[in-house]
Amino acid sequence: MSDPGSDFSAWIGRQDSTDDDLGLAAALAAAATLGDGSERFTGGSALPPLWHWFYFLPRVPQAGLGVDGHPQRGGFMPPIPFPRRMFAGARLRFHSPLLLGQPARRVTTIRDVRLKSGRTGSLAFVLLHHGYHQGDRLCIDEEQDIVYREPGPALPAPTVVDWPPLPAAACARIVTPDPRLLFRFSALTFNAHRIHYDRPYAIGEEGYPGLVVHGPLTAVLLLELLRRQVTRPVQEYSFRGLAPLFDLAPFRLVCTPEDGGYALAAQGPDGTLAMSARAVLAELAG
């Protein structure tokens, strides 16, 4: 591994592209995982927002995986030495929907790599940009914050408390995560990170009290909550992960209208704000 003080500036500006035919199978599997499976898709159907995460998947050979299940670093991603990896947040703009059954391309660029020292130890931040194209159309702009950190102390299991009353005009959903949901989401995203399905590893090696709920799963569930309340398409969406969620107790999703958009939040069983998000809907055509 590289020294923590290594200069990773050579990785800034690197690009990679991935093509995908956007077949129906992944959308149908996602519908069965995220809902009741009643949503119907055919060739040419618009892909719901964030469901592009079920496509353009990494296909790293088994020998190329690290002990934690993530692809080994040093190829496209810089060889950052810190072992803990988190998808900490993202900012997306949806210009037009990706259409199922039509070839599409994702172009990924490393925009920045920064090393910092925090109260929990050393951290590395990698800023990725993804552009999703179909034909000559740019459909989605996405920036992702990937964070690597040193190992920390073991985390205690959350204490279950009563959630506060909902704000006026808010809607909510209670999610009970279990290994079946986490396994299915790992399969949908071809994600072999062991903290989501290997309980002895998650507890013994990474110090979590249980299986970890995927940050992207929480982000998708928040947007699905909003999507079931509105008819206009989502134009912008951003989220930030603040604390992990586990398969030990239910958590609550909350969607609240606010000026110009919607505030969304995932609340842990102990009342902790686990994820904050904001969505803006497209204006109605005049």
Task: With beta carbons less than 8 A apart as the criterion, state whether 77 and 126 touch.
Answer: yes
Average pLDDT over residues 280-286: 80
Greater confidence (67 vs 238) lies with 238
Average pLDDT over residues 242-262: 96
Least confident of 65-69, 137-141, 270-274: 65-69
Average pLDDT over residues 158-186: 95
pLDDT for residue 34: 95
Average pLDDT over residues 275-285: 90
pLDDT for residue 6: 67
> Is the pLDDT score of 246 beyond 50?
yes
The pTM (predicted TM-score) of the whole model is 0.94
pLDDT for residue 5: 47
Greater confidence (165 vs 283) lies with 165
How many CB atoms are located within 10 Å of the residue 26 CB? 22
pLDDT for residue 119: 72
The amino acid at 121: G
Q: What percent of the chain has pLDDT over 70?
A: 97
pLDDT for residue 1: 38
Instruction: Compute the mean pLDDT over every residue in the chain, rounded to the nearest whole number.
Output: 93
Task: With beta carbons less than 8 A apart as the criterion, state whether 240 and 89 touch.
Answer: yes
Task: With beta carbons less than 8 A apart as the criterion, state whether 152 and 207 touch.
Answer: yes
**CATH superfamily, domain at 12-281:** Hotdog Thioesterase (3.10.129.10)
pLDDT for residue 4: 45
Q: What percent of the chain has pLDDT over 90?
A: 78
pLDDT tens digit sequence for 26-43: 999 999 999 877 788 999
pLDDT tens digit sequence for 180-226: 999 999 999 999 999 999 999 999 999 999 999 999 999 999 999 99
For the chain, the structural domain boundaries read 12-281
Greater confidence (75 vs 166) lies with 166
pLDDT for residue 209: 97
Task: With beta carbons less than 8 A apart as the criterion, state whether 26 and 33 touch.
Answer: no
> Is the pLDDT score of 168 beyond 80?
yes
pLDDT band for position 286 (cuts 50, 70, 90): low
**Residue 134 tokens, joined:** 């179909």
Average pLDDT over residues 112-136: 90
SS3 call for 91: strand
pLDDT for residue 285: 61
Task: With beta carbons less than 8 A apart as the criterion, state whether 272 and 252 touch.
Answer: no
Q: Which among 35, 215, 9, 6 has a CA at the least distance from the CA of 112?
A: 9
pLDDT for residue 107: 98
DSSP string, 233-273: PEEEEEEEE-S--BTTS-EEEEEEEETTEEEEEEE-TTS-E
Segments of 119-260 assigned E as strands? 121-134, 137-149, 171-175, 234-241, 251-258
> Is the pLDDT score of 3 beyond 70?
no
